Amino acid sequence: MRAGLRIWAALPVLAAGGCAHAPLPAPDAPAIAAAAECRSAGASLYFDFEGASASACAVTGERDFALLVAPEHAAPINPSPWYAFRYEAAGDAPVTVTLRYLGGWHRYAPKWRSGDESRDLMAEVSDNGAKAVIALPPGSGVVSAQEVIAPADARADLARWSAASGAAVFTLGTSHDGRPIEAIRLGRADAPRLVVLLGRQHPPEVTGAIAMRAFVDALATRADKLGDVQVLVVPMLNPDGTARGHWRANRGAVDLNRDWGTFTQPETRAVKAWLDRLPQGVRPALMVDFHSTARNLFYVQGKDEASPAQQRFLAAWLEGRENAFAGYPFTLEPRNANPGSGTAKNWFHATYAIPSYTYEVGDDADRAATRAAARALAESLLPALDTAAP
């Protein structure tokens, strides 16, 4: 808490001035120092796990706390105001936590988990969205902006895919903080057509991770039927940002999905280096990058930049299925590349002339429907890929 006081003392000024012009630290300044815990007589908040946010915390009453939810670097930054903490409260009297957003506004309905129990919590949100008050259930639990899917959970996913497919998990490279960028390859290493699946460039985009899990689960159980297709799966491309509760960036204060092409960051470079070492005769055939946004959609190539083969693939895989999945309607959003935009979508398309899509899942998408749609889309992927053969 001590480390957070300096930031906290400035809050009334920031609130009066409005969030948009808040004097955030310069991009090269040290990250906002976080409180590891915040303790009152009746309850305590802790920020001591992978995925916890680096929120400055203040005790405002015996059972009341305020958190400053602030981004990891100065604006401009995507308004994905991540928060996550755990708490322990004595007795049954209510405990409240007031979230105050710096450089963002309330976007994510609070999720609560304790043991095997989980549910959404109500939040009383101010008219301008700059403040949200959450009443915590008695006892203890974790409260987070979305479900916490941390690097350890991605490792567990990789282990499950390894067990299902017989493929080995391997390390592509190392993040700034020294965390491994782990991957698995489903199918034969000499299979000529490579599908690349990327996840978690952006830490708060958990619904994309939920879809990716189900998508890869479906492929891993069919790994022996992939034929001349192999699949590289990188589920946690930004482990530092995820572990540190970032809104967007990696530990280098860079949006990784603006780094494809320049490759200034170890996480993107690790994938590029692996692609550069592909055996002769193996070539990327499709890239899908999982993210989250306000609603379900796929960013795909615009008609005038998609080759006939790419258009055949899109027609076979996604077109006409926008309302095919109960509870998971989606749209297709063709977008031509901005030269130099640095997104994985544009880099893979420009480099390999392949279909290259961003798989965006709505923040509030029904989780079961998200998983069901992802499984169905994975199951129809191979036949669709065949239509794109030259």
CB of 245 to Zn ion, least distance (A): 16
Q: Does 63 sit near Zn ion (CB under 5 A)?
A: no
Question: Crossing angle for the helix pair 206-220 and 151-165, nearest 10 degrees?
Answer: 10
CA distances (Å), origin 246, targets 73, 149, 201, 328, 375: 9, 13, 11, 28, 29
Q: In 3D, which of 151, 13, 119, 143 has the Cα closest to residue 67?
A: 143
Output 141 or 208, the one with its CB closest to Zn ion. Answer: 208
Tokens, residue 22: 């808040």
CB of 202 to Zn ion, least distance (A): 4
Is residue 325 within 8 Å of residue 371, measured between CB atoms?
A: no
Output 280 or 338, the one with its CB closest to Zn ion. Answer: 338
CB of 293 to Zn ion, least distance (A): 7
Output 136 or 154, the one with its CB closest to Zn ion. Answer: 154
CB of 104 to Zn ion, least distance (A): 15
Output 185 or 349, the one with its CB closest to Zn ion. Answer: 349
Is residue 316 within 8 Å of residue 231, measured between CB atoms?
A: no
Listed ranges 171-179, 195-203, 242-250, 304-312: which one lies at the site for Zn ion (CB under 5 A): 195-203
The residue of the chain with the least Cβ separation from Zn ion equals 291
CB of 8 to Zn ion, least distance (A): 29
User: CA-to-CA distance for 357 and 132, rounded, in angstroms?
Assistant: 35
Output 179 or 291, the one with its CB closest to Zn ion. Answer: 291
CB of 246 to Zn ion, least distance (A): 12
- Interface positions, 203-262, toward Zn ion (CB under 5 A): 205
Catalogue the long-range contacts made by 326-330 (C-beta closer than 8 Å, 24 or more residues apart).
Answer: 326/369, 326/372, 327/366, 327/368, 327/369, 327/372, 328/296, 328/365, 328/366, 328/369, 328/370, 328/372, 328/373, 329/296, 330/295, 330/296, 330/297, 330/298, 330/373
| Mask for 260-299, x = binds Zn ion (CB under 5 A) | -------------------------------x--------
Listed ranges 20-28, 52-60, 92-100, 201-209: which one lies at the site for Zn ion (CB under 5 A): 201-209
CB of 240 to Zn ion, least distance (A): 16
Q: In the set 200, 202, 248, 251, which binds Zn ion (CB under 5 A)?
A: 202
CB of 356 to Zn ion, least distance (A): 15
Helix (H) or strand (E) holding 116: none
Is residue 271 within 8 Å of residue 188, measured between CB atoms?
A: no
Is residue 108 within 8 Å of residue 146, measured between CB atoms?
A: yes
User: CA-to-CA distance for 186 and 235, rounded, in angstroms?
Assistant: 13
Output 205 or 363, the one with its CB closest to Zn ion. Answer: 205
Q: List residues near Zn ion by CB under 5 A.
A: 202, 205, 291
